[in-house]
Structures are given as structure tokens and as C-alpha cells.
Structure 1
Amino acid sequence: MENGQDVSMCLGKLERCYNTIQLFKIRVDSYLYEPTTMALFETKLYLMNKIAHLSDANKKLLEFMKSSKDLLPDQYKMVNYHIRETFELEFDFMEYALKFRQSV
């Protein structure tokens, strides 16, 4: 029973990560965050690549977790690593938004 709850908890966390990643994808693509300098353009490119990578990883983890009944320690570590990477994306985006606003 406990393992089933762990799988449910991880699925919930991964789905929240998916929503966060999609939100940042929309925001990076927004005209409000169009780069005006080369540094901002490079940062935007970095963010877009990171978003694509995290989105793919999230999709694979979600598919795997939905098909798995048991949660192994390595899988739990992968989920936690993905959550940490998503938080880092959020921090990176906030830095980008701050740089963007400072340059305007």
C-alpha cells in the first residue's frame, strides 16, 4: 500500500512539474520577453533548450510511472532530480525576466 502511495505522490509531483514547464514555455515564447540584446537572446535560447529537455524527460517519467506498479529507489531519485531541475528552470527564468527588465 505504501509503495502505491509513493507512486501516486510521484505522479502528482511530475504532473505539477509538467504544468510548470508548460507555463515557462508559454512565457519564454511571449512577446513580453523578446530579447533586445545578444546576452538576452543567448539566455532565451538556453531556457528554450532546457525547457525542451525537461519536457521530454517529464513525458518519459510520467509514462514510465503510469505503467509501473512499484517504485524503485533509483526511480524515486530520478523523480526528485527532475523536480530539482524544474525548480532550477524557474530560478533561471526569473533571472532572465530580471535581466530583461533591467535592460529596458
Structure 2
Amino acid sequence: MENVQDKSMCLGKLERCYHTIQQFKKRVDSYMYEPTTMALFETKLYLKGRITKLSETNQKLLGYLKSSNEILPEHYKQVNYHIRETFELEFDFLEYTMRFRPPV
């Protein structure tokens, strides 16, 4: 029974990560965050690359967990690492968007 709870918990976390990543994907292409300098352009490309990588990884992990009856310790580690990477993306994206705010 514990394994089922772990699996459903991981699925829930991955679903939240998926929605977060999709939200960032939409926002990074928003006209509000069009780069005006080379540094911002490079940051945007970096973020888009990370978003694509995390989106692909998320889909692979979700596919595996949905098709499998049990979760292996290695997959549990991968899910936790993916969640950590998504939080880091969130932090990096917030830093990027803060550069577009007018000075106070």
C-alpha cells in the first residue's frame, strides 16, 4: 500500500510540475518579456532550453509512472530531482522577469 501512495504522490507532484512548466513556456514567449539586450536574449534562450528539457523529462516520467504498477527507488530519485530542477527554473524565471520591472 505504501508504494501506491508514493506513486500517487509522485504523479500529483509531476502533474503540478507539468502545469508550472507549461505556464513558464507561455510566459517566456510573452511580449512582456521580449529581450532588449544581448544578456536578456541569452537568458531567454537558456530558459527556453531548460523549459523544453524539463517538459520532455516530465512527460517521460509521467508516462512511466502511469504505465507502471510500482515505482522503483531510482525513479523516485528522478522524480525528486525533477521537482528540484523545476523549482530552480522557477527561481531563474523570476530573476529574469524582475529585470523587466521598472525601477522604484
TM-score relative to the length of structure 1: 0.95
Deviations 1:67-96 (A, max 9, x none): 111111111000000000000000000010
Which stretches of structure 1, 4 residues or longer, exceed 3 Å deviation after superposition? none
Q: CA deviation at 1:102?
A: 5.6
Any residues of structure 2 matched to 1:2-81 within 5 Å, and which? 2-81=2-81
- What is the count of residue pairs matched by the alignment? 103
TM-score relative to the length of structure 2: 0.95
Which sections of structure 1, spanning at least 5 residues, go unmatched?
none
- 1:40–1:100 CA contact under 8 A, matched in 2: no
What CA RMSD, in Å, does the superposition of the two structures yield over aligned residues?
1.1
Q: CA deviation at 1:101?
A: 2.6
Which sections of structure 2, spanning at least 5 residues, go unmatched?
none
Q: 1:84: which partner in 2?
A: 84
